[in-house]
Chains A and B, each alone.
Chain A
Amino acid sequence: MFYLSQVEQNLKMPPHLLKPSLLDGELEKGIRGELEKRFLDKVITNLGLCISVYDIQSFEGGFIFPGDDGCATYKVRCRLVMFQPFVGEVIVGKIESCDEFGLQVSLGFFSDIRIPERFMVQPCHRGEDGIWVWQFKVDNEEFQYSLDIDEEIRFRVASVKYPPTPVEQSENSEPFSPMEITGYINGDGLGLVSWW
């Protein structure tokens, strides 16, 4: 689910952040703060969602370029903890909502996980209250298992997509999600955790 990514960034340190850290001798703390502001909670295409700054390997420079409002520019090499599940990984999440296309699952810190109808346990149909129900037949007996909201669900990652940022968005459209995960639950051991 998580892995480390090594990046190099030209970081501009505004003067008001430099003053206390240079006096304390804690420039690294100031740089870390700026890195977190730059990367934390942001999605980097093909790398994933940045969860945390793991460590700062080196930084050099500190030159003040003309026209930069007095910002000192440092070349920082650091490692970031990225969240990007690999295809085939099994993850447990909570069902957040369901609509006519399928389920939406959330992990707390990440909610753009969709399980479309074609990837759900078959056969299943959507009940009157909108909740998806799995009809399980064994020896002429039929059991109905419903996929309720807030239930823990185990799914396997089918794909991770990074749709391009739309240039224009109409007011009523859904908020843009930079990283989308599609999962499937039609397999042994998958589906609601309480089923197995």
Chain B
Amino acid sequence: MKIEKANAGNLTNFEVFDFLRSRGATSDPMGCIGSVSPSECKVFEYLSGSPAYMQTRESVNEFLRKADKFKFITSFEKLNIVNSTPTVMPALYATIKDCDKRIAKEEEQIAKENQLEEDQLQELLELVKEIFPQPAEEQEELSQ
């Protein structure tokens, strides 16, 4: 076996989910037999429980386009955010590497500028909540 290209492109969880779905995988493990193998079915089951279940190609593209203006996050972090769709600030902190260090970069910077960075994080969080809404059943459970 010869490895021509070790990395021919990163895939978001949604793309793998869509690919398996188009191959014939379903949430029902018995229904999968014949079209996809059992291990592919397990991956599909895992992804069905993740935020990728609710995403569409358009929403992911829209998020990546709008997140372009946030210069402080790298493409890997954007991938992290699309895969985990954080809805609270601590979860967003987790997806961005060394978040606290990046906010207070240099001591010489004016306090106002640090405030700007935190506002940007809040804006990013609002963008995630707007483009990837939580499923309705979860919201009902929370309100009960």
Contact = CB atoms under 8 A, between A and B. Distances in A.
Interface string B73-112: 0001001100110101011111101011000000000000
Contacts of B95: 90, 189
Q: B2, B86, B88: which has the most chain A beta carbons within 10 Å?
A: B2
B50 A188 contact: no
A47 B6 contact: yes
Interface in A75-115: 77, 79, 81, 83, 86, 88-92, 107-109
A8 B3 CA distance: 6
B117 to A, nearest CB: 16
Nearest to B87: A196
Interface residues of B, number: 42
A5 B91 contact: no
A7 B91 contact: no
Contact of A46 (B2, B6, B10, B16): B6
A34 interface: no
B26 to A, nearest CB: 15
A8 B88 contact: no
Nearest to A77: B4
Contacts of B10: 2-3
Interface in B39-79: 39-40, 42-43, 45-46, 50, 76, 79
Contacts of B13: 1-2
B91 A196 contact: yes
A166 B36 CA distance: 32
Contacts, number: 112
A71 B91 CA distance: 54
Contact of A40 (B8, B37, B80): B37
B1 interface: yes
Given A189-B90, A189-B91, A190-B94, A8 B6 contact: no
Nearest to A193: B91
Contacts of A92: 50, 84
A117 interface: no
A9 B39 CA distance: 22
B14 to A, nearest CB: 10
B32 interface: no
A154 B91 contact: yes
B72 to A, nearest CB: 15
Contacts of A8: 1-4
Interface of A: 1-10, 36, 40-41, 46-47, 51-52, 54, 77, 79, 81, 83, 86, 88-92, 107-109, 154, 156, 187-190, 196
5 contacts: A47-B3, A89-B79, A92-B50, A188-B90, A189-B91
